[in-house]
Chains A and B, each alone.
Chain A
Amino acid sequence: GDSVTQMEGPVTLSEEAFLTINCTYTATGYPSLFWYVQYPGEGLQLLLKATKADDKGSNKGFEATYRKETTSFHLEKGSVQVSDSAVYFCALRQGNYQLIWGAGTKLIIKP
């Protein structure tokens, strides 16, 4: 079945460092891909999404490009801030089915 694999955390970076969180997927067809963020004590928020190959989703300085050839949707940000500390989830949705989630990657940014 369909699945999403994320890099294990925690990922610890210094402020202003470059961020990459890897996400790869296994799916038949052409799923939509998502990144959600969960700040401490809060629910999940949609960060960005891409619905077809080569689409680039972006929001709040974060970017991810839907790469069908490598079945990847890596999350990147050029300069992270302490406020970016959170858990990041990669997810896919195939057609009319529910979201399928990765395990989540905890990001810790040190000042």
Chain B
Amino acid sequence: KAGVTQTPRYLIKTRGQQVTLSCSPISGHRSVSWYQQTPGQGLQFLFEYFSETQRNKGNFPGRFSGRQFSNSRSEMNVSTLELGDSALYLCASSLAASGTSNEQFFGPGTRLTVL
């Protein structure tokens, strides 16, 4: 069974631009969560989608948004990029929504660099 895939793996953008990252969960998984990982702040939860609905949202500005499609694939978008948005963005999928005993399986991440 294929794991969680994220595209692209690496991305370089300049301040003010916007970016869209994609995540394909494990087949059959309906929940997708997004995390930002930086050396200074560690791992921070962005949001979670289950069956195309946002269930939980972390403490990030409105420039960060996401969506989930009917096939459970998810995208996250960051508008008006800032230097501080440079990070590894991780996607995780699970069978059901968070808070259950379902394990989250992580993708390799997308490394975003903002210049």
B-contacting residues of A (Cβ < 8 Å)?
Answer: 41-46, 51, 89, 93, 95-99, 101-104
Q: Is the CB of A98 within 8 A of B33?
A: yes
Distance, CA A8 to CA B56, complexed state (A): 30
Select the stretch in B62-70, B72-80, B99-107 that faces chain A. B99-107
Known A95-B99, A96-B98, A98-B98; contact A89-B43, beta-carbon cutoff 8 A: yes
Q: Is the CB of B43 within 8 A of A45?
A: no
Question: B58 on the interface (CB 8 Å rule)?
Answer: yes
Q: Is the CB of A46 within 8 A of B99?
A: no
Distance, CA A51 to CA B109, complexed state (A): 27
- A97 shortest CB reach to chain B, Å: 6
- The contact of B42 among A93, A98, A104, by CB within 8 Å, is A104
- B95 shortest CB reach to chain A, Å: 14
Of all chain B residues, the one with the shortest Cβ separation from A94 is B99
Query: How many A-B Cβ pairs are below 8 Å?
Result: 41
- B21 shortest CB reach to chain A, Å: 14
Q: Is the CB of A101 within 8 A of B43?
A: yes
9 other A-B residue contacts (CB within 8 Å) besides A44-B90, A99-B45 = A43-B90, A46-B104, A98-B45, A98-B48, A98-B56, A98-B58, A98-B98, A99-B98, A104-B43
Q: Is the CB of B99 within 8 A of A97?
A: yes
Chain B residues within 8 Å of A95, by CB: 99
Within 8 A of A (CB), among B42-94: 42-45, 48, 56, 58, 90, 92
Of all chain A residues, the one with the shortest Cβ separation from B90 is A43
Distance, CA A53 to CA B101, complexed state (A): 16
Would you list 9 pairs from A and B whose C-beta atoms are within 8 A, ordered by A residue? A51-B101, A96-B99, A98-B45, A98-B56, A98-B58, A99-B45, A99-B98, A101-B42, A102-B42
Distance, CA A98 to CA B45, complexed state (A): 8
Known A93-B99, A97-B98, A98-B98; contact A45-B106, beta-carbon cutoff 8 A: yes
